[in-house]
Structure 1
Amino acid sequence: MGFYWEYIEKKMSFEEITQERKKQLKRISTIRNNRDIIVYAADYSKGQAPISILYEDLAPFNDQLSNLNGKAVDLILETPGGSGEVAEDIVKTLRNKYDNVSVIIPGWAKSAGTIIAMASDDILMDTTSALGPIDAQLTWQGKTFSADALLKGFEKIKREVDEKQFLNQAYIPILQGISPGELESAQNSLDFAKDLVRDWLISYKFKDWNVHSSTGEEVTSEEKRVRANEIATELCNHEKWKTHGKSLRIKDLEEMGLKINNYEDNNDLNDAISRYKALLNMSFDTNIFKVIETSDTQIYRHLNSEAPPQSDNDVLFAGIECGKCKYKNNIQINLDTAKPVKKGFKTISKDKSIICEQCSTNINLEGFINDVQAQTRKNVIL
């Protein structure tokens, strides 16, 4: 029986799920010689939410990191990717604080998540885990696509013009919509990701690679540089991987020349990480779409609320956006004891929902309530 089903059968409350998550994080830390542990995880299934690595995640990430005081850290990472610049900031923050950084991938860490993994001393995965290509993504005319694909597309047009000595009229609208500056920006984005990965591999992943396992001969600085450049180039090879969402598993990464630790080889560690992954998925079954946490504290981001609830003693005020009409409904959340309802606000009904004032849609707030109770450690009065 799988862990997910085991926990479902127990019919655990959100608070119990949270406590069990913390228990498994502490287990992982103990098994890993009491290293600090921090989680940055997003729910892939909530694509309508800002699940990518974003600038606004830096403050909560740094907040959680400030609760830790060790010399080595494990980052549990689950992300579809996002901003390469923010990924760089996360890495610099971790590296400024810790002598040793490992990244644990229970599921997927794609794109900018892969960039972060390449800055670690050690990468831990299992046979189902995956990293991904690191080709930069650009948004143009409302569409997101690979910077590499854009540049190769324009190279194809250029070659066709050189060969046929005329321009296909179908290309004119495309060429009119892209400036030389945007092409240069696409190239810069590609170079940025590739250079980061190459430099980080040399500085961290390969810092203790001193002897060739096959020959026993010393590894030179030039050999480290060449290997790092080959791996960075391979990870940026959109022409090979075809899709930005391609899953690169342990075998794929080892074929590139990366050493990956399969945590399935350690039964206790595999059990703890697998249980944490199941509990994380159950936490995402609510309105929560992003979890940033340590073994003692946590910060959630959830759907519907436009901003963190504002507190007035044991009363919280929040703006809940209707998913249908986007109207913001102002609600009052009473904690532990009932309070008079402030003018202009409404309370949550006993079935854990509100009715949108504008379109009368029923908005389920069970996940939001669980989030509030987990963070405040108080009961929401319905």
Structure 2
Amino acid sequence: MPNWNEVILEIQQEQQKNPHVNPLDTVRRKYLKSVSKITGRNTIAYYSGWLQKPQVAGTAVNDKDKSGFMLAINKLDRAKGLDLILHTPGGDIAATESLVDYLYSMYDKDIRVIVPQISMSAGTMIALSAKEIVMGKHSNLGPIDPQMGGLACQAVLDEFKQAKEDIKQNPQSASLWQVIISKYHPTFLGACKQAIEWSEKMVFDWLENNMCKGDKNKVQKIIDTFANHKIQKSHSRHISKKECIDVGLTIINLEDNQDLQDAVLTTHHAFMHTFLNTYCVKIIENHNGVAYIEQAVQPQNSK
């Protein structure tokens, strides 16, 4: 299968051969189709262009995505299960919960997630809802501790707890802590606590009912690792395939099937080229070429 540079060359050749057809779509769909042919399963790619367009709105998981999945799933033979290729920075927890519920209703938990490069935050939550995750040596998941306003909810609660303990031991520190914790409204603290409880219970239930099949001890170990801000230190931390295996996730090595690895990585390159060369910010596309494509607002030329 072609590498990064060879995919560029193939796109250029396709443009010369068929100037009236978008070569990016042609090449991308060709290799996405090849993934399905190898696995014998339905394949949907859920791709975000956040790496290429970090400041553009629409790259995160949101409620509009369900419409894209409805389009992509329509007319597929659902008895074949679903391989979901994920590349996303994450996004809204409520939208994530709704999306997984919808995928479960369509595929009865026969869902496998493939991570060619990165699936972070809410993207990791989606991966943890699957029966197994296919990862390569280059693949990463991320922490699932919820964030509010760019702040880790657990870090906010920990800071507030530390303030109370310090003031109790040393009342003179109250004035110092007042400056720090005054930025936290009581309602915000409650919202942080609820977000942590919600996200952890949601992922716990998915793991217990699918990947871990009732093994609550294994589920709790996974939650304690992925949702613990004290362990992960940063919401942007990249968790390797080895760490995922060590904590108890059901991980399939992408390298074990050379044909599948080639097809997945070439498909990944094709999606990256699409984001680099168009205004696309998100693509939800099935192996038959049916796609929901969201584009950024194009800049207006100044006069």
Query: How high is the TM-score relative to the length of structure 1?
Result: 0.72
Residues 40 and 75, structure 1, Cα contact 8 Å, conserved in 2? yes
Residues 231 and 256, structure 1, Cα contact 8 Å, conserved in 2? yes
Residues 71 and 290, structure 2, Cα contact 8 Å, conserved in 1? no
Structure 1 or 2: larger helix share? 2
Residue 76 (str. 1) matches residue 67 (str. 2): no
- Letter aligned with residue 7 of structure 1: V
Equivalent residue, structure 2, for 1:175: 181
Equivalent residue, structure 1, for 2:204: 198
Shift of 1:68: 2.1
Q: Which of residues 5, 8, 16 in structure 1 aligns to 2:23?
A: 16
Structure 1 or 2: larger strand share? 1
Shift of 1:303: 1.8
Q: Which of residues 266, 273, 294 in structure 2 aligns to 1:301?
A: 294
Residues 42 and 290, structure 1, Cα contact 8 Å, conserved in 2? yes
Residues 194 and 233, structure 1, Cα contact 8 Å, conserved in 2? no
Query: Secondary structure of 1:68's match?
Result: coil
Q: Which of residues 130, 135, 151 in structure 2 aligns to 1:125?
A: 135
Tell me how far apart the structure 1 counterparts of residues 250 and 107 of structure 2 sit (CA, whole Å): 21
Tell me how far apart the structure 2 counterparts of residues 164 and 234 of structure 1 sit (CA, whole Å): 33
Tell me how far apart the structure 1 counterparts of residues 2 and 156 of structure 2 sit (CA, whole Å): 43
Equivalent residue, structure 2, for 1:87: 96
Shift of 1:200: 0.8
- Letter aligned with residue 42 of structure 1: S
The CA RMSD measured in Å over matched residues stands at 1.7
Which protein shows a greater Rg? Answer: 1
Residues 71 and 291, structure 2, Cα contact 8 Å, conserved in 1? no
Equivalent residue, structure 2, for 1:60: 68
Residue 114 (str. 1) matches residue 124 (str. 2): yes
Query: Secondary structure of 1:192's match?
Result: helix
Q: How many residues align?
A: 290
Equivalent residue, structure 2, for 1:267: 258
Percent identical among aligned pairs is 28
Query: Secondary structure of 1:38's match?
Result: strand
Residue 244 (str. 1) matches residue 235 (str. 2): yes
Query: Secondary structure of 1:289's match?
Result: strand
What is the 5 A alignment of 1:187-226?
187-207=193-213, 221=214, 224-226=215-217
- Letter aligned with residue 164 of structure 1: N
Residues 126 and 250, structure 1, Cα contact 8 Å, conserved in 2? yes
Tell me which of the two structures has the higher relative contact order, counting C-alpha pairs closer than 8 angstroms and 6 or more residues apart.
Answer: 2
Shift of 1:266: 0.2
Equivalent residue, structure 2, for 1:380: none
Equivalent residue, structure 2, for 1:227: 218
Residues 58 and 90, structure 1, Cα contact 8 Å, conserved in 2? yes
Q: Deviations over 1:94-113 (max 9, x none)?
A: 10011311111111000000
Query: Secondary structure of 1:128's match?
Result: coil
Shift of 1:126: 0.5
- Letter aligned with residue 56 of structure 1: K
Tell me how far apart the structure 1 counterparts of residues 163 and 127 of structure 2 sit (CA, whole Å): 36
Equivalent residue, structure 1, for 2:280: 288
Tell me how far apart the structure 1 counterparts of residues 39 and 146 of structure 2 sit (CA, whole Å): 33
